[in-house]
Amino acid sequence: MRENRDGGDTRVSNANGTTLVSYLLGGMAFWGGIGWVADRALGFSALFLPVGLIVGFAGAVYLIYAQHVRS
């Protein structure tokens, strides 16, 4: 807990828009990127890329839930 200027306790959430957007972008960029590399390496046109994007998106949504909603 933190104290505000009057000495009372206020909890300022770190759930600002930037954090949420960076989770979503980071998730899809990282796992989508892994999927894209896997497609290139294994000779597929677009198999692992969408899987990676979905995994990244789901991971990011879970992180947002775990960090900022559940707590």
Binding site for another protein (CB under 8 A): 2-5, 10, 12, 14, 16, 18-19, 21-23, 25-27, 29-31, 55-56, 59-60, 62-63, 66-67, 70-71
d(CA 29, CA 55): 11
> Measured from the CB of residue 53, what is the shortest distance to another protein in angstroms?
13
The nearer residue to another protein, 18 or 45, going by C-beta atoms, is 18
**Neighbour-count burial for 16-38, b at 16+ CB within 10 Å, e otherwise:** eeeebeebbeebbeebbebbeee
The nearer residue to another protein, 27 or 48, going by C-beta atoms, is 27
